[in-house]
Structure 1
Amino acid sequence: MPDIDAITLLKNDHKAVEKLFKRFEKAGGGAAKTKRKIVDDIIRELSIHAEIEEQMFYPAVRAAEVPDAKDMVLESLEEHGVAKWLLSELDGMDPEAERFDAKVTVLIEAIRHHIEEEEGEMFPAVRKVLKRKALTELGGSMDRAKGIVPTHPHPRSPDTPPGNIAGGLASAAIDRARDAGREALERAKKAVP
């Protein structure tokens, strides 16, 4: 992948998750299996995205002394906390459960609000302070980190360094083993006639 700056990488993540949201909204009633797959993809995408923001982007924003960075970051961390609880409730929830669709709808609304604030307030403020080279180096580090951060929500884990980095490594190992087990089970189910 060519060099990508941190803000562009995060905006690309936002676009990817918005596509998933729209797919869920269009799925309609009676599409439980499809909705489950979409929600699993949303959980993975948002879990990874939140981790790279919390471990790398937000600390860089605060260190660069972006105006109002502390307040913007703290609000974002609180929004992440709410989203992680919803994601953890949805993770493995029966898609035919009475509150499944409602829970996903609340998640979508919360994330859309979060994205609007990041893209409308935080990202422009960061671009004014951090130079292109710094944003590109940060983007490269964030892109590489996507392969080693947790893939499921961990709402009780610390969300700021250094606790989130140490906890994230352990959680990521567990998540990736869990994902591999699920994938092996799915392959086995498909192989049985």
Structure 2
Amino acid sequence: MDAIALLKADHKTVEALFRRFELAGRNAKKLKRSLVNRMVRELAIHAAIEEQVFYPAVRAKAEKLVDPILEALEEHHVVKWLLNELEGLAPDAERFEAKVKVLIENVRTHVAEEEKELFPQVRKAFTPAELREMAEMLTLAKRTAPTRPHPRAPDTPPSNLVAGAVSAVLDMGKDAVQSARHKVEGFTSRRAKSSGKRRGGKRAAQRPQGNGMTPTPGAEPHYVM
């Protein structure tokens, strides 16, 4: 796999999340929140590796592509602000759906420009071996990339490399806290369901047995043979 194929694979991953969100029902709040969380992570990592590896390499190799790269960086900037706002927005908030829709529109436009205009020119400027080497660098960058958007952080080297490393550490801490919270919530939910089942079983066991008929006072008991 070369660098362009790797970045296109990222684009497909994000597009799949977009489609799932668009197909989700109006009341599928929990699913939509989960999908947006994944969008935030995927897009934050993708933007970081492009800014740390791909864009600087292209600017250094092909001077005529500087302007498209600068436009792409500005598009990243807009998307990161949307992601930052969506991180803390409840799925039942009035603007949640609208904000996700604007995010999807912006990312789709950005992806179309990259794949139809930028990537073909990059493929002409680099040899196959160079693109494969760049893919290895992108893969390594993914391992230490921030997992959340940082719109105020620098997006060009060398400042973004330092800021990215710090942000990645902070994001790891936030991710760990979020993961632990989800586990606790899941455990609490399962325990509540289990407790409800036990209480229901106990009530059933306490119900009177037999035909449920109460004999009339003074009457002879009636036995069913």
Shorter chain as normaliser: what TM range? over 0.9
Matching residue of 1:79:
75
Q: Which has the larger radius of gyration?
A: 2
| Aligned 1:142-153 pairs, distance under 5 A | 142-153=138-149
TM-score w.r.t. structure 2 length?
A: 0.83
- Amino-acid identity (%): 53
Please state how far the C-alpha of 1:92 moved relative to its aligned partner. Answer: 2.2
User: Which runs of structure 2 are paired with 1:1-193 in the superposition (5 Å)?
Assistant: 4-65=1-62, 68-192=64-188, 193=191
- The alignment partner of 1:151 has SS state of coil
For 1:98 and 1:143, locate their aligned partners in 2 and report how far apart those are by CA, in whole Å: 38
By relative contact order (CA 8 Å, sep 6+), the higher-ranking structure is 1
State the 1:191 CA deviation: 2.1
Amino acid at match of 2:104: I
Q: Deviations over 1:10-59 (max 9, x none)?
A: 00000000000000000121111100000000000000000000000000
Structure 1 runs, 4 residues or longer, greater than 6 Å off: none
Provide the alpha-carbon RMSD of the alignment: 0.8
Q: Which amino acid aligns with 1:64?
A: K
Extract unaligned runs of 5+ from structure 1: none
Q: Which moved more, 1:149-158 or 1:57-66?
A: 57-66
Amino acid at match of 1:49: H
Structure 1 residue 91: Cα displacement: 0.6
Paired residue type of 2:101: T
Give the alignment's TM-score, normalised by structure 1.
0.96
Gap runs ≥5 in structure 2: 192-225
